[in-house]
Each structure stands twice: as C-alpha cells, then as structure tokens.
Amino acid sequence: MKTLKNTIIMAVAFNTLISSGSGFLSDEERFTVLERIKNLDPALENYVFDINGDGKVSIEEQDFGRHPLSQLISRSAVEGGTDIQWTPDLFPEWLMYYIVPEDASTGIVKEMPVRGILNNLETTAPDESHAPERIADGLFFNTGSHLTFPRERNARWRFRWGALLFKLDGESPGNTTLLDVNSGRGSSRSSPKITYSQEVGLTVQFTGLANGLDVRQASTKDVIADGTTWNFLVFGMRQGSLFASINGRAFKSETPESGRFSTTLVNELDATTYIGSGDGDSWTLNALLLGQTEPSEAMVRKLEGWAARRLNSVHLLPAQHLYKTKSPVLDLEDLPHRYTHDPIIWQKWLQD
C-alpha cells in the first residue's frame, strides 16, 4: 500500500517537473514520470525502470528488454485523463534524430551532440569559419555557417515528420536553407527541405519518385522574420499528403497533390544533409526534431503546444488552439488501438 508520505513526495516532485520548462525529460524527471504512470496502471506495478537504483531513468533503461512504453500502458489507465506532462521524448521510440542547443558548450560549435535513435549521425561544421555559435538563447547560424551529417539512406521512413523551432532576420533577398536532408536532385533527395525567402516565405518540401519530379511543397508568409521572434514549425507526410503548420496555423500546397506518394532509398554517396546553408539570412535554432511514424492530428497539436511552451511563445497560438490555455498531457491519443491478430475470428471470416 502506498503511504500518504510517499504520495506527497511524488506530488512535490511531479509539480517540480511540470514547472521545469525545458520541454524534455531529464533522467530524474523520467524516473518521476514513470513512477507516476505506474501508480495509474496496476499492470505496470512490478516493472522496474530504474535498473541501477540511482533514482534516475535513462531512455535506455526505460526501453531495456521490454516493449516501448506506449505499448505497455493500458488504455483504461488514462481514459479518465491524467496530469502527466506530455513531452516528445516521453515515448522516445519515435524520435530518430534531434538536436538542442543546451547540449553544446558556449562558443563555436564544430560538432553538435545528437540525441535520438540515430545519435551516431555525426553532425559537424566543415571548419571553424563556417561553424555556428552557441549563444545564450540558441544555436546561431550566421550567413555562411552550417552543420552537416552524412547520407541517410532510409530518410523516407526515418524522417516522416519534423519540428523546427527557430528565428531568422529575413533581411537577405535570396533563399535561406534551414534544413536540407540528403541534399541534391533526383528521387527522394532534398526531402524534407525547409527554406525561407522574402518573396515566397517559408517553404516545406518532400520529394518522391519520377527522378525527383514528384515534389510536394507548401509555403506560407505567416512566419515572423524579424530576427527576434521565435517560430515553431511542425511538418511531415501523412497518408501520402504533406502537412505543415507555423505557430499553430496550418498551411498546405496550392497545387493539387496526387493521392499516391512513393519514395525510394537514397543510394547516391554524395547525399549530405545540411542544417543551415552557405548563403542567405542569419538565423537561430532552438530545436530540430526528426521522427518516424505518421503522427495523427492529435500528435501534431501536441507538438505545437509543446513547442509554444518551450519557447515561451504561447501567445502565438491561434485563440481556438487546443493548447492555448493548457499544456498537452498524456492521454488516450498517445495510445491508439493496435491490431491484434485473432486466429479464430480470422478463420471464421474466411469461411463466411
């Protein structure tokens, strides 16, 4: 039986987590959250996430030797609602690659630490003169500075969605490349790609087959390019269609899209991913997330609400946005129904 003392201690720790503000779970916070989830779900009571007993749970400990957390939590445990703060890394299995400035030391950044499943993707500057700089509020890319990482052959599966938190000055008359995955021409190259120009605004691109002719693009001028205001972009491909939103406002292609979108492996050895570009505006990165799966509309809304709070920019969300006045929390939307094969029902269906 859980004592009142233990309940009070957990409440204090959890309230501290809610007000921490980073938007990502520290190992101590992850321990607190998982203990909270165990209290809600009797099926998890005997699970030991803190393997070494240090009062912390790393992402590796959370998933070690067991199914991902999203497959362990009972839907019945959360259907009545929870107060567990939602963060993108609560279920780390969907985060393939992400970088945040707080992982870098102040000053010139020649190599950027990487989080996520693909944390071995070395993300580096070509030389010190082209390296971004870690400043007080982010990772600053002056004109000409950029980071790169090597070809990612499976980007079509591993980078189906993304979130970019940034600000830019918008003074350059040319194009500014914020992200260009597997840069180049041809099928599945420069996919996804994010650019900005004064004329067009912010553009998100995914490239399919037909030697790169099947290009899905969406642009918006709702981005704030004053050099001081943070923006949060959520984007991806879902059911063959491009989706994107800036500061919680959706935008889409003005060109009708085919209902079918196919891609292929990127086999060309010259495929390199660029974060930043050699020309264009100066800009500052607060976070870049790239993930697998096709997120539901509910997950997109959660990412928007999370990003707005990480940046202290909730005022930018539309008045009617679900998370304008509240933070996203763990709920049934995080635990979709999963198909379970029933051989008896299957055989009956075949016979009928």
Supply the CATH number for residue 216's domain: 2.60.120.200
Contact 242/204 with Cβ under 8 angstroms? yes
pTM as predicted: 0.90
- Judgement on whether residues 246 and 267 belong to the same structural domain of the protein: yes
- Judgement on whether residues 173 and 294 belong to the same structural domain of the protein: yes
* Mean of the per-residue pLDDT values of the chain: 90
- Judgement on whether residues 160 and 247 belong to the same structural domain of the protein: yes
Q: Which residues contact 334 (CB under 8 A, 6 or more apart)?
A: 70, 73, 78, 86, 90, 91, 299
- Judgement on whether residues 14 and 74 belong to the same structural domain of the protein: yes
The domain boundary residue, chosen from 63, 85, 107:
85
Residue 104: both structure tokens together: 């870098």
Q: Indicate whether 351 belongs to any domain.
A: no
Residue 8's domain comprises: 4-85
Specify burial of residue 199 (Cβ count, 10 A radius: 0-12, 13-18, 19+): exposed
How many angstroms separate the CA atoms of 53 and 58, rounded? 12
Summarize the confidence of residues 289-306 as an average pLDDT.
97
Q: Which residues of 265-296 are buried (b: 16+ CB within 10 A; e: fewer)?
A: ebebeebbbbbbbeebbbbbbbbbbbbbeebe
pLDDT value at position 18?
A: 43
Contact 165/310 with Cβ under 8 angstroms? yes
Give tens-digit pLDDT for 72-109. 999 999 998 899 999 999 999 999 999 999 999 999 99
- Judgement on whether residues 199 and 65 belong to the same structural domain of the protein: no
Question: What phi, psi does 248 have (nearest 5°)?
Answer: 85, 5
- Judgement on whether residues 81 and 120 belong to the same structural domain of the protein: no
Q: Indicate whether 288 belongs to any domain.
A: yes
- Judgement on whether residues 197 and 309 belong to the same structural domain of the protein: yes
What is the band of 20 on the pLDDT scale with cuts at 50, 70, 90? low
Q: Indicate whether 14 belongs to any domain.
A: yes
- Judgement on whether residues 195 and 284 belong to the same structural domain of the protein: yes
Give tens-digit pLDDT for 308-333. 999 999 999 999 999 999 999 999 99
- Judgement on whether residues 65 and 98 belong to the same structural domain of the protein: no
3-state secondary structure 226-240: CCCCCEEEEEEEECC
Question: How many CA within 13 A on the CB side of residue 53?
Answer: 0
- Judgement on whether residues 296 and 224 belong to the same structural domain of the protein: yes
How many angstroms separate the CA atoms of 146 and 130, rounded? 6
Domain count for the chain: 2
Pairwise pLDDT comparison (41 vs 6), residue with the higher score? 41
pLDDT value at position 163?
A: 99
